[in-house]
Amino acid sequence: MALKLNDKFLNGYISKEDIDTISGEVYAAQSLLNSRTGAGNDFLGWIDLPVDYDKDEFARIKDAAKRIQNSCDVFVVIGIGGSYLGARAAIEFVKSPVYNNIPGKKTPDIYFAGNSISASALNDLLKICEGRDVCVNVVSKSGTTTEPAVAFRVFRALLEQKYGKEGAKDRIFATTDKAKGTLKKFSDENGYETFVVPDDVGGRFSVLTAVGLLPIAVAGIDIDSMMKGAQDARDAYTKANIDENDCLKYVAIRNILLRKGKSLEILAAYEPAAQMLCEWWKQLYGESEGKDGKGIYPSSVIFSTDLHSLGQFIQDGTRMMFETVLDIKKSNDELLIPFDPDNVDKLNFLSGKDLDFVNHTAMLGTLFAHTDGNVPNIVLELEDRSEYSFGYLVYFFELACAISGYTLGVNPFNQPGVESYKKNMFALLGKEGYEELREELTKRIK
Ligand code: PA5
């Protein structure tokens, strides 16, 4: 098993009775999901995705990834939210947060665009692309999201100018709805190769579809092994008994903590490579649970870095949070601390020790400190940073998120709140059909 939940650092916050009391609700939420009768039940394709995926498309993804690897120096992935976070999380977690700068790397540099409306971000990337061969993967299920659509306009123009319309078509890959939508229509008309975001898989649950798999494969990551990890997690978490099912246990503990006033969850990892994984997790839980005035606010830290910033608040500030600590058991690297004959920094007691050992000791020290400071800690022990473990962890978090959402009593698969800013932005930008709202908003800022 690649993942194990350690509940030794909950600091007495969770009793056996608490678990017994909530377990009925958690089982009910699990059955609601499995019977496919709950809210949002048309978005449950991710449940069986690790075993029931389009094998032909999977082969096409691998083939396209090889062509992209052979034909470009820079691969630009355009998408926002669930349309880019999973891919970026996987690449940084499995490879490196400085993947683009890995010496001797044989795969293209990968950049992510269309996830903000910043002119500087887009211009900086255009400069990076100057004089280099570029391929683009535009990822948008709806095909109409403003941020990626604007970035795609910019990069399409760049590619058409550089390679001509014919040349550009072999360098543009679109991941979108299988039949409908502007992007699908436009891609077919222009001859771009397309990949599918299945109808029944929402953006934030789509990392194991072409949305995540194409960029991940371009980075040289073994996507078969990633799927295998997800498959094994799917098998492991079908067990109904909460004592044998860490996924249900995670759901139970976080919901008990919420009911005891802990409305903020901090995902803490001790590897900078997990930073984007935390971003992916925050989107998954934030968009899935935060609605109808409910939910646990998802936040994240990278330790020990953030022990020198947010660490103070976690130890000593308003007691509103619990932590979920990702303990990666095996490091990708070994680095022995050198001996200093002058011992200027008085650190010779560490010389010869592996830095990962020190990192783990810092984790243990922090676990004791934070639990003493009345912050309950759930520890998720992950075997390593392999693609297999990544797939396993992704499935664990997705399944827990869905069951937790049902336990909370929300529809985990919609995101109605995301529309509010869009409406206002369109009205203020003068989009047709938004005249009334524009008038109302203009009055408010006068
Ligand atoms: O999880 C979600 O559904 C969202 O975050 C979407 O992924 C995001 O809004 C992008 O949407 P689209 O792929 O339609 O451009």
Q: Pick the catalytic residue: 66, 180, 422, 423?
A: 422
Share of the chain above pLDDT 70, in %: 100
Q: Give the pLDDT confidence of 27-39 residue by residue, as tens digits.
A: 999 999 999 999 9
184 lines ligand 1 (CB under 6 A): no
Is the torsion defined by CA of 263, 269, 272, 276 positive or negative? negative
290 CB less than 6 Å from ligand 1?
Answer: no
- State if residue 114 touches ligand 1 by the CB under 6 angstroms criterion: no
Does residue 213 contact residue 391 with C-beta atoms inside 8 Å? no
pLDDT > 90 fraction of the chain, expressed in percent and rounded: 96
Query: Is the pLDDT at 1 greater than 90, yes or no?
Result: no
**Amino acid 446: pLDDT:** 87
- 303 alpha carbon – ligand 1 mean position (Å): 29
238-244: average pLDDT: 89
Q: Based on C-alpha coordinates, what's the Rg of the chain?
A: 23
**pLDDT tens per residue across span 114-127:** 999 999 999 999 99
11 pLDDT above the threshold of 90: no
Cβ of 203 closer than 6 Å to ligand 1, yes or no, is: yes
For the four alpha carbons of 56, 73, 81 and 379, in that order, the dihedral sign comes to positive
Which residue, among 344, 65, 35, 332, has the nearest Cα to 216 in the 3D structure?
Answer: 65
Question: Which residues lie below 8 Å from residue 191, measured CB to CB, with a gap of 6+?
Answer: 169
Q: How far apart are the first and last CA of the chain?
A: 60
pLDDT of residue 419 exceeding 90, the answer is: no
Output the CA 204–ligand 1 centroid distance in Å. 7
Sorting pLDDT into bands at 50, 70 and 90, what band is 62? very high
**Position 245 pLDDT exceeds 90:** yes
Contact present, 230 and 49 (Cβ < 8 Å): yes
- Spell out the residues 6+ positions from residue 111 whose beta carbon is closer than 8 angstroms to its own: 74, 75, 76, 77, 100, 125, 128
Mean pLDDT value of segment 342-365: 98
Residue 260 has pLDDT above 90, yes or no: yes
Can 287 be counted among the known catalytic residues? yes
Average predicted confidence (pLDDT) for the chain: 97
Nearest to 260 by CA among 26, 28, 15: 15
Separation between Cα atoms, residue 432 and residue 35, nearest integer Å: 43
Which carries the bigger pLDDT value, residue 335 or residue 11?
335
CB atoms within 10 A of CB 339: 11
pLDDT of residue 116: 97
Residues 135-188 have pLDDT tens digits of 999 999 988 899 999 999 999 999 999 999 999 999 999 999 999 889 999 999
